[in-house]
Amino acid sequence: MDINRIITLDEFIIRQQNEFAGATGELTGLLRDIGVAAKIVNREVNRAGLVNILGIEGTENQSGDVVQKLDLYANEKLIECLKNSGECCAIASEEIENFIELPGIHDKPAKYVVLFDPLDGSSNIDVNVSVGTIFSIFRRKSDFTGPSNIGDFLQTGLEQVAAGYVIYGTSTILVYTTGHGVNGFTLDPSIGEFCLSHRNIQIPKRGQYYSVNQGYYLKFDLEMRRYIDHCSDLNLGLRYIGSMVSDVHRILFQGGIFLYPSTRKYPNGKLRLLYECNPMAFIVEQAGGKAINNHLNRILEIDPKELHQRSTIAIGSPDMVDEMKAFVERYSAVTS
């Protein structure tokens, strides 16, 4: 086979499916439909400067953040594509208070639920900085013949069957895992296809950057301040975009650590466990990295209690996350 041949996302997903005996193609269909939604959202993100859908919508989402118009558009498109897919029985979105049941197609019971953050980092939209879409897929736990329930969504991150993100950056890249490594696909706008561009992504053990909103330094706990001082002592560079997808994407390729610790405003962290932390943790772990919270618990093992639960997070290169863990252990022992 010609190794330079273009492999599209659709072809790659189908090939992966063929490697698993008993795979029915349902997850394949679902991933493909998310790919379609990503293309539609991408088109709109790119056109955003041209049409009047920019700007703050004026409402607040479930978590109290200001919602911008493009978030709502991305939210609608994802729901639409997942509805048409017929493989998803219910969805939960960072932009919606409760989960939504989706009607089945031809009375076929759907096995999966999908959770997503339709447009993460939305405060960046107005200034033309990269944003992203994050998704997480679970097999439903409830009886396939009845309606889905909250228990289908409140599963630990370990139970994710797939997770991914799309970064709308200088190019648009979709990165996903089904628990067998991580692969990245770059959208070729000339043919309208995501093409395999980053095979079996491995995160470096360490990196030259740390990523945290250092403006909140004085609001962080002592152990976190000490760790940040340590990063600075090591002459690590600080990179913080304010768009988790973009910050973690860089770390996935170049190594480093991303932190969103507790602050006075967000004592449990700002980021959402189900829409942001779990899917990113699954991807990063699959690439050889680590993800823990401030209590040093593995993100993927946290038992969620509610849909919009927040979590602190330290995610990235394995050696750097271990080092952060050691700082927290040392300095919290000093204060306790």
Please give the residue ranges that form the binding site for Mg ion (CB under 5 A): 117, 120
Q: What is the side-by-side order of every strand in the sheet holding 257-260?
A: 237-238, 209-211, 257-260, 313-316, 290-292
Output the smallest distance, CB 286 to Mg ion, in A. 21
Output the smallest distance, CB 117 to Mg ion, in A. 4
Of these partners, ligand AHM, Mg ion, none, which one is at the site of residue 184 (CB under 5 to 8 Å by kind)? none
Active site residues per annotation:
65, 71, 94-95, 117, 119-120, 276
Question: CA–CA distance from 3 to each of 7, 65, 302 (Å)?
Answer: 9, 46, 41
Question: CA–CA distance from 117 to each of 113, 120, 146, 214 (Å)?
Answer: 14, 6, 26, 24
Q: Report helix angle 318-335 to 222-233, nearest 10.
A: 130
Residue 275, CB half-sphere, CA atoms under 13 Å: how many? 28
Q: Judge whether 136 and 146 are in contact, CB under 8 Å.
A: no
- Of the candidate residues 133, 160, 178, 243, the single one contacting ligand AHM (CB under 6 A): 243
242 binds ligand AHM, rule: CB under 6 A: yes
Tokens of 103: 């009607």
Which residue bears the tokens 């639409």? 80
SS3 208: coil
Output the smallest distance, CB 121 to ligand AHM, in A. 4
- Strands 237-238, 209-211: pairing is parallel
Output the smallest distance, CB 189 to Mg ion, in A. 25
- Of the candidate residues 39, 270, 290, 310, the single one contacting ligand AHM (CB under 6 A): 270
The DSSP symbol for 158 reads G
Of these partners, Mg ion, ligand AHM, none, which one is at the site of residue 243 (CB under 5 to 8 Å by kind)? ligand AHM
Tokens of 143: 């009886």
> CA-to-CA distance for 88 and 137, rounded, in angstroms?
9
Stretch that binds ligand AHM, among 18-26, 106-114, 169-177, 241-249 (CB under 6 A): 241-249
Q: CB nearer to ligand AHM: give 122 or 311.
A: 122
How many residues make up the chain in this entry?
336
Task: Count the Cβ atoms, other than its own, within 10 Å of residue 169.
Answer: 18
Stretch that binds ligand AHM, among 72-80, 105-113, 160-168, 238-246 (CB under 6 A): 238-246
Q: CB nearer to ligand AHM: give 84 or 214.
A: 214
- Of the candidate residues 33, 117, 152, 285, the single one contacting ligand AHM (CB under 6 A): 117
65 binds ligand AHM, rule: CB under 6 A: yes
Q: CB nearer to Mg ion: give 12 or 176.
A: 176
Output the smallest distance, CB 157 to ligand AHM, in A. 18
169 binds ligand AHM, rule: CB under 6 A: no
Residues 203-222 that bind ligand AHM (CB under 6 A): 213
Q: Judge whether 154 and 234 are in contact, CB under 8 Å.
A: no
- Of the candidate residues 122, 133, 160, 317, the single one contacting ligand AHM (CB under 6 A): 122
Q: CB nearer to Mg ion: give 315 or 320.
A: 315
Which residue bears the tokens 């770059």? 186
> CA-to-CA distance for 8 and 333, rounded, in angstroms?
51
Of these partners, ligand AHM, Mg ion, none, which one is at the site of residue 122 (CB under 5 to 8 Å by kind)? ligand AHM
Q: Judge whether 278 and 293 are in contact, CB under 8 Å.
A: no
Stretch that binds ligand AHM, among 12-20, 184-192, 236-244, 281-289 (CB under 6 A): 236-244
Residues in contact with ligand AHM by the rule CB under 6 A: 65, 94, 117, 120-122, 213, 242-244, 270
